[in-house]
Structure 1
Amino acid sequence: MNSAARALDAAQLTACDREPIHLLGTLQPHGFLLAVQGPELRIVQASQNVPDRPGRAGADVIGRPLTEVFPGIAGALAGAATPQPEGEGARYLRTLDLDTADGPRRYDLAVHRSGPLAVVELEEAAAGADADLSLDALSPRLNAFVESLHRAGTVADLCGLLAAEARRVTGFDRALVYRFDRDWHGTVVAEDGNGVLPSYLDLRFPASDIPAQARELYRRNRLRIIPDAGYVPVPIVPAVPPSTGAPLDLSHSILRSVSPVHVEYMRNMGTMASMSVSILVDGRLWGLISCHNKAPRRVPLQARNACDLLTRVFALQLAAKERSAGAEERLRLGAVGGRLLGYMTEADSFAAGLVAHADDLLALAEAEGVAIVAGDQCRLVGRTPAKAEVQRLCEWLAARDGDEDVFATDALAEVYPPAADFTEVASGLLAIAVSQTSPNAVLWFRPEVVQTVRWGGDPTKAATPDPAGGPMRLHPRTSFEIWKETLRGRALPWSVAQIDAAKDLRAAILGIVLRRAEELAALSEELQRSNKELEAFSYSVSHDLRAPFRHIVGYSELLRTREGDRLSDKGRHYLDTIVEAAFSAGTLVDSLLTFSQMGRNALKRVFGDMNLLVEEVRRKVMRDVPAGRQIRWQVGSLGRVYADPVMLRLVVENLLSNAVKYSRGRPDAVIEVGRAPDDRGEAVFFVRDNGIGFDMAYVNKLFGVFQRLHRVEEFEGTGIGLANVRRIVERHGGRVWAEGALGQGATFHFTLPDRMEAR
């Protein structure tokens, strides 16, 4: 993140997080607290503002049974239907009158549990808690609010209704609906006010304004009120009771005092009273209703309870809308995923099926670019980084700790710094791994979306030393004037439905790959059986056919030697033809045997210098060239290769021999051997001559067994050399092809996988 807020030192940012705000040991003074223990409800802790009773000091309560000190409170607790479960918020029981030294006072009684203790809180009833705030009086307003929520078309409309109704019920000067983002920064998405306080609509506030432990308290205790930010905290005594040995946990307290940092924050905002209600959606903290008043203000318990009810109804409606929108998106993406599954099933490979229908593949994640990495191939569609960058990104993803099959981020450069070089096309990344053994993946990309954020004041906080020598402390901001910041390196975030659609596609791909692996296993078994039959056939050819040819040649020589004088010239010519044909047939049998064995010999790859190999083969080929023939050789820089040297020698020998043979009619024969540049991760070699060439209409016959484009009378050979070339190159993982024209020479190309170590 490039904002000033993210630039703060981590220790400074967590200073507030370490403050134990649920264990402050103090209360706000508009009520008092009693912590009781055991069946006799013995008071083990109390706030120092317990009111004096007629003839007895309020401080004289520790260690006494509640029935003796406040029998009315004890009776209310005994009349509760069920004890409050541990971990739940305070429950209002009733409003009662207590006799005090100053006369009768009305209190709202609430109770919650804190470990072995029952925490009893008595909040002095606010002025105005009358019949206008009774449930019967509020019901028409609540019903109207619920109906308006049903009619709201968008989440923004829902938030606007909630802000207006919360301010109407409480009478505060301003009511805000505040929504958290993924980094826990909050944005004011709705507001209702009377003009006394400034508007904060659409402003963003940094996560440090509501630190982590405060957010957790908001999740556990939905409602908090501060009637007067100028209050003097009331201590709870003793701070640590002997019976528990721990400070009292006030997480669910109604009267809990707040952090001094928060009180200072309120004063800096110009507000002396506030109330917040947590908005929980499926148990997570979605946001807050935050109400403020310029002057101190007490809000009756009935009004606060009404706001809590409004918020719960709002949260249910909000969750319903989010689920409905999510369901619609899932249905739409499910249809796209179904089509992609069909395409992959029909194609030769899952990658081919996806690339052939790139529009649907992009639509599945609403991305602008996608890369499919499968084996040694990287296919790119739309706006993406370069192939080399995608392959390095895949390697980084594969090397990450954990078993993440799906990776999603809308700020890639924050977790993968090299992505800073291509944020304009790939600030957002959604990736699925489609192999457990190699970095094969599908990666969707989203471009950078530059945003201008309006903060409610400079989000940085000055760290100041603790006068007592403690750690640095974040000082609350004193200004809330609009502070603009430009955010870069971020894309639109991926939705849950899009991430789930990517997971489903991954499962589909793995299913197809597994099915094809089973098919290949069956095919491999069949090929092994066929290979055994071929071996038997090869042995039969080598043994049974070669012997008759030897006999033909042998008896023909005997006939020439013993009976040659009796033969006419025509007879001797016939005899020579028989011998020549027998030799030719034997050569064909040997070539066929060599070709059949070529696929069974294991490759023994090593690194080697291609120029040295070509020079050795060139010298060997030139031994059979007549002394008077001139050939001009042009051999470029060929580099190193990783291949089986014996088989690669056969490839080079076949290609150079053919070039010499088919250019012998040229008085100025030129043969060129070179290496061409390529960006597909291959080493591309070529052999070019200026010989008789060939017609490209028959190029597909060149690499077939016993396929010839010229008569034997013109050029000798069996027609199996180029078939061996193709078989050897393909076994290395390469390709072969040829180009030519009649009378203008020919060029034969072959490739080998390029390895960094060979360069």
Structure 2
Amino acid sequence: MADELTHTPTHTPTQTPTQSPTQETHAIEADCAREPIHIPGGIQPHGFLLSVDAAGHVVQVSANAGALTGGGAEALLGQPLEVVLGERAAGLVLQALSELDTEGIPLYAGSIDDPRGGGHSPLALVVHRYDGVAIVELEPARGTADVFASMYPLVRTFINSLQEVENTDALAVLAAREVHRITGFGRTMVYSFDDEGHGHVIAESLSPGYAGYLGQRFPASDIPPQARALYVRNRIRLIADADYVAAPLVPARHPATGRTTDLTFASLRSISPVHVQYMKNMGTWSSMSMSIVVRGRLWGLISCHHDSARVPPFEVRTACEHIAQVLSLQIEAKEDHAEADYRLELRRRQARLLAAMANADDFIDAIAADPRDLLDLPGATGAAIVFEGRVVRLGDAPEASVIERLVSWFDTRTEDVFATDNLAETWPEYNDFLGEGSSSTAGMLVVSLSRLFRNYVIWFRPEVVRSIRWAGDPRAKLSGLSPSLSPRESFDVWTQTVRQRSAPWRPAEVEIASDFRGALLNLVLRRAEELAQLALELGRVNRELEGFSYTVSHDLRAPLRHIVGYADLLREMELSRLSDRGKHFVERIIAQARFGGKLVDDLLSFSQMGRAALRVQAIDLDDLVARVVADETRELGDRPIEWGNSKLGMVNADPVLLIVVLRNLISNAIKFTGTRTGVDGATVAFIAITRTPGEGKFAGQDVITVRDNGVGFDMRYADKLFGVFQRLHRFEEFPGTGIGLASVRRIIERHGGETWAEGELERGASISFSLPREQASEAAPVHETVIEAAARLAAVSSGQPYRPVFKDTKKVEDDRAEADPAG
């Protein structure tokens, strides 16, 4: 759809043009680009130009330079410079030329009295070398004193105000006001260039009677490419009088090069007739422009206009050039700071997103459940993930049918990352799908993960309708001139309504999308490798499972029984013959063998918990707890324990397995409160079993907690409590096999609940688990826990470090870690 234009002064819509202003200016730019504005063959006559050879003799002059000596220009050729300008001036020029070490950079040599006398203002001497030619320019100045001494008072206000300015727009306003003040031009504007080269007036300062252009835009064709290049190289340009008659160079070709002299860096360079006519169309008879160059690119201009001829002194021009340089540095610093902050924020977003994806078993589902991080990553309102045949739409995304066609189109392209803010112009089929949910989508950013498997991540942005105010119809030509090289005649405001474009994608956003692509590919590759390894490992484990179970139940238990039996016989038969040390050894053998048998029994029980069928029913938890408490306190004797039980009510669970859970938790609480005896004023052991309704993610579940005031634990090791063979206390202090809490977690997970622990050293601990009120059907149990336990047992026995058999799968307890350094 072509851009819609309205002419603001009449507010009458025009017919939709066949081309936008941007498209119609391409031909003008092409013609202007061929105009040799850097070799105009003459200068503006408010100053003089001389070219000298290595010996200091004049070899080329501007036609008006004869006025310096009262003769003709040709008479100056071949003369020593001191004859033309005087001995002092010649010394300044030759000294400055000898100090030049960079081509094209003008150097101020000093100021002299005008050789003509008669009330003429002093002249500033500026020299430079370029293209094998040494050039001397003489321009009107305020005086013969040091120009830099008189420059600081002019820029002092601007420099001192910089610290009060916070952003680029405020900087531009400050610069426009200060340049307007010190130059006396009637209108001073600051405008920036967009990526297409169009100028946008962001600040201005006006004298009474001058038209304002604030907020308006000038098309790129107003400043063709070669003019932009000159603005970067020569950063100040003065047009003193639009009615000037150029002073040609004599001779026309430089004797040393045989070519027309390149005046790229000459401030007196003559101006293109097209641009002079352009000035007159704006009612401007003199102008001065200073370049704002940021990171080597023409960011914008400070442009001064006046309705009559005007020659600002050299000192004023130098001050304005300095303001433009400071402004350039300030803009670059503020943009770099803002860009660095934005890139850092994008990195934070990516880190959050990748962390969520890495910790999820299915990262696509994880993103779909909370799409904010993915949408925020490049600043999009919609997204689509096309992965393994699935199309997951997020936020304000087009319909799936549109996304499928977009993917088919993108399959034909070669870019890994592609961005556009004008999908209608980029995608040929866009208009065919306006009725299928894509009408609000105008921008797209795509990263390709795999064209072979058609895996993509696509972000979308909506249309942003913009009204652009042009300073004159940018399509208009001035009649009577060449149809291509012609400035606009009218600068009445034209308003262009731009549709079917989104907010543009910033370079940092495209870069973060590319980085995200690389990170996502690494994540997918890592998952694929892990799944492949897991499949191989599971096949091997399953083949060994039955043989392992038999070994544990028969081959391992039988020797342990024999050890205990023979050790008992030895103790009974030879007790009187054994030394105290020998008796100790026998007791240690019996104790360790019995502990090994208990370990094997617990291990087998643990493995059976993963295989036995789950039979859920309603259970009176008060009755179940009372039975377990009675069993566990039967052999405590007169040890005091305060019980803080509340009414527990009914829960849904497998009664056999829930007894195992409660027995482990209550026996642990009794064991770890063993130091709370109440003797000699000591604290009495306290144990409470409570049930509360779950909240938040535990909504619809019951939370049962067993809390005690025992020795507690360090919360740094809380995640290790539920691992197989994980212990946080010495066996001599609190005996146990380290399987009890692992069994608790295994049982609760089979019920669809979760387990967690809280504690503080010497302040007690609380172990909690949740039980869904409505139990879902359970998937077939997996036996890898047995293998994990066996691997730990083998590691403990051999003294070798434990290495997990299973990695990064939801079928394995997430609390399996390396041996606890505190255990």
TM-score under structure 1 length normalisation: 0.64
Q: Give the equivalent residue in structure 1 for 2:226.
A: 213
* CA displacement 1:634-687 (0-9 Å, x = unmatched): xxxxxxxxxxxxxxxxxxxxxxxxxxxxxxxxxxxxxxxxxxxxxxxxxxxxxx
Distance of 1:476 and 1:387 partners within structure 2:
49
Deviation at 1:363, TM superposition (A): 1.1
The 1:170/1:25 distance shift into structure 2, 3 A limit, reads same
The 1:378/1:240 distance shift into structure 2, 3 A limit, reads farther
What SS does the aligned partner of 1:474 have?
coil
Q: Give the equivalent residue in structure 1 for 2:49.
A: 33
Distance of 1:495 and 1:92 partners within structure 2:
41
Distance of 1:320 and 1:55 partners within structure 2:
51
Is 1:124 the equivalent of 2:140? yes
Distance of 1:35 and 1:377 partners within structure 2:
74
8 Å Cα contact 1:34/1:120 also seen in 2 = yes
Distance of 1:41 and 1:529 partners within structure 2:
93
Q: Give the equivalent residue in structure 1 for 2:152.
A: 139
Deviation at 1:142, TM superposition (A): 3.1
* CA displacement 1:462-506 (0-9 Å, x = unmatched): 387877xxxx42321111111111111211122333233223322
Residue 64 of structure 2 is aligned with which of 24, 39, 49? 49
Deviation at 1:57, TM superposition (A): 3.3
The 1:412/1:240 distance shift into structure 2, 3 A limit, reads farther
Distance of 2:153 and 2:245 partners within structure 1:
39
8 Å Cα contact 1:219/1:278 also seen in 2 = yes
Q: Give the equivalent residue in structure 2 for 1:266.
A: 279
Q: Give the equivalent residue in structure 2 for 1:380.
A: 393
Q: Give the equivalent residue in structure 2 for 1:248.
A: 261
Q: Give the equivalent residue in structure 1 for 2:346.
A: 333
What SS does the aligned partner of 1:254 have?
coil
Distance of 2:526 and 2:777 partners within structure 1:
38
The 1:331/1:272 distance shift into structure 2, 3 A limit, reads same
Is 1:192 the equivalent of 2:205? yes
The 1:217/1:439 distance shift into structure 2, 3 A limit, reads farther
Distance of 2:91 and 2:453 partners within structure 1:
71
The 1:195/1:9 distance shift into structure 2, 3 A limit, reads closer
Is 1:75 the equivalent of 2:91? yes
Q: Give the equivalent residue in structure 1 for 2:124.
A: 108
> Amino acid of the residue matched to residue 74 of structure 2?
A
Q: Give the equivalent residue in structure 1 for 2:473.
A: 458
Is 1:491 the equivalent of 2:506? no
* CA displacement 1:43-87 (0-9 Å, x = unmatched): 443211112455753322334554554454431133228543444
The 1:41/1:437 distance shift into structure 2, 3 A limit, reads farther
Is 1:351 the equivalent of 2:364? yes
Distance of 1:82 and 1:239 partners within structure 2:
26
> Amino acid of the residue matched to residue 516 of structure 1?
R
Distance of 1:54 and 1:306 partners within structure 2:
31
Residues 380-389 or 157-166, more deviating = 380-389
Distance of 2:250 and 2:406 partners within structure 1:
60
What SS does the aligned partner of 2:197 have?
coil
Map 1:144-159 → 2, pairs under 5 A: 144-159=157-172
Residue 27 of structure 2 is aligned with which of 4, 7, 11? 11
* CA displacement 1:83-133 (0-9 Å, x = unmatched): 4344433222111235349797632111122211112111233xx5598x9
Is 1:94 the equivalent of 2:110? yes
Distance of 1:220 and 1:363 partners within structure 2:
40
Q: Give the equivalent residue in structure 2 for 1:554.
A: none
The 1:373/1:51 distance shift into structure 2, 3 A limit, reads same
8 Å Cα contact 1:90/1:254 also seen in 2 = no
What SS does the aligned partner of 2:330 have?
helix
Q: Give the equivalent residue in structure 1 for 2:380.
A: 367
Q: How many residues align?
A: 529
TM-score under structure 2 length normalisation: 0.59
8 Å Cα contact 1:464/1:473 also seen in 2 = no
What SS does the aligned partner of 1:384 have?
coil
Q: Give the equivalent residue in structure 1 for 2:520.
A: 509
* CA displacement 1:527-583 (0-9 Å, x = unmatched): 8989999xxxxxxxxxxxxxxxxxxxxxxxxxxxxxxxxxxxxxxxxxxxxxxxxxx
The 1:54/1:21 distance shift into structure 2, 3 A limit, reads closer
Q: Give the equivalent residue in structure 2 for 1:729.
A: none
* CA displacement 1:200-247 (0-9 Å, x = unmatched): 111111111111111111111111111111101111133333531322
> Amino acid of the residue matched to residue 118 of structure 1?
A
Q: Give the equivalent residue in structure 1 for 2:755.
A: none
Task: Tell me the C-alpha RMSD between the 2 structures.
Answer: 3.1
The 1:150/1:406 distance shift into structure 2, 3 A limit, reads farther
> Amino acid of the residue matched to residue 476 of structure 1?
P
> Amino acid of the residue matched to residue 474 of structure 1?
L
Deviation at 1:449, TM superposition (A): 0.8
Distance of 2:288 and 2:168 partners within structure 1:
22
* CA displacement 1:298-338 (0-9 Å, x = unmatched): 11111111111112222222222222222222232222111
8 Å Cα contact 2:93/2:125 also seen in 1 = no
Distance of 1:385 and 1:41 partners within structure 2:
74
What SS does the aligned partner of 1:348 have?
coil
What SS does the aligned partner of 1:365 have?
coil
Q: Give the equivalent residue in structure 1 for 2:757.
A: none
Distance of 2:57 and 2:446 partners within structure 1:
61
Distance of 1:87 and 1:292 partners within structure 2:
31
Provide structure 1 residue ranges, at least 5 long, that are not aligned to the other structure: 534-696, 702-759
Distance of 1:700 and 1:138 partners within structure 2:
84
Is 1:449 the equivalent of 2:464? yes
Deviation at 1:398, TM superposition (A): 4.4
> Amino acid of the residue matched to residue 152 of structure 1?
V
8 Å Cα contact 2:468/2:495 also seen in 1 = yes
Q: Give the equivalent residue in structure 1 for 2:37.
A: 21
Q: Give the equivalent residue in structure 1 for 2:619.
A: none
Q: Give the equivalent residue in structure 2 for 1:433.
A: 448
Distance of 1:273 and 1:463 partners within structure 2:
20
8 Å Cα contact 2:151/2:315 also seen in 1 = no
Residue 74 of structure 2 is aligned with which of 29, 37, 59? 59
Distance of 1:433 and 1:114 partners within structure 2:
49
Distance of 1:57 and 1:461 partners within structure 2:
44
What SS does the aligned partner of 1:277 have?
strand
Q: Give the equivalent residue in structure 2 for 1:175.
A: 188
8 Å Cα contact 2:41/2:252 also seen in 1 = yes
Q: Give the equivalent residue in structure 2 for 1:415.
A: 426
The 1:308/1:437 distance shift into structure 2, 3 A limit, reads farther
Distance of 2:202 and 2:289 partners within structure 1:
15
Is 1:324 the equivalent of 2:340? no
> Amino acid of the residue matched to residue 298 of structure 2?
L
What SS does the aligned partner of 2:275 have?
helix
The 1:42/1:440 distance shift into structure 2, 3 A limit, reads farther
The 1:49/1:484 distance shift into structure 2, 3 A limit, reads same
8 Å Cα contact 1:129/1:301 also seen in 2 = no
Deviation at 1:26, TM superposition (A): 1.5
> Amino acid of the residue matched to residue 514 of structure 1?
L
The 1:85/1:447 distance shift into structure 2, 3 A limit, reads farther
What SS does the aligned partner of 2:237 have?
strand
> Amino acid of the residue matched to residue 307 of structure 1?
C
What SS does the aligned partner of 1:235 have?
strand
8 Å Cα contact 2:93/2:136 also seen in 1 = no
> Amino acid of the residue matched to residue 94 of structure 1?
G
Distance of 2:120 and 2:203 partners within structure 1:
42
Distance of 2:120 and 2:21 partners within structure 1:
52
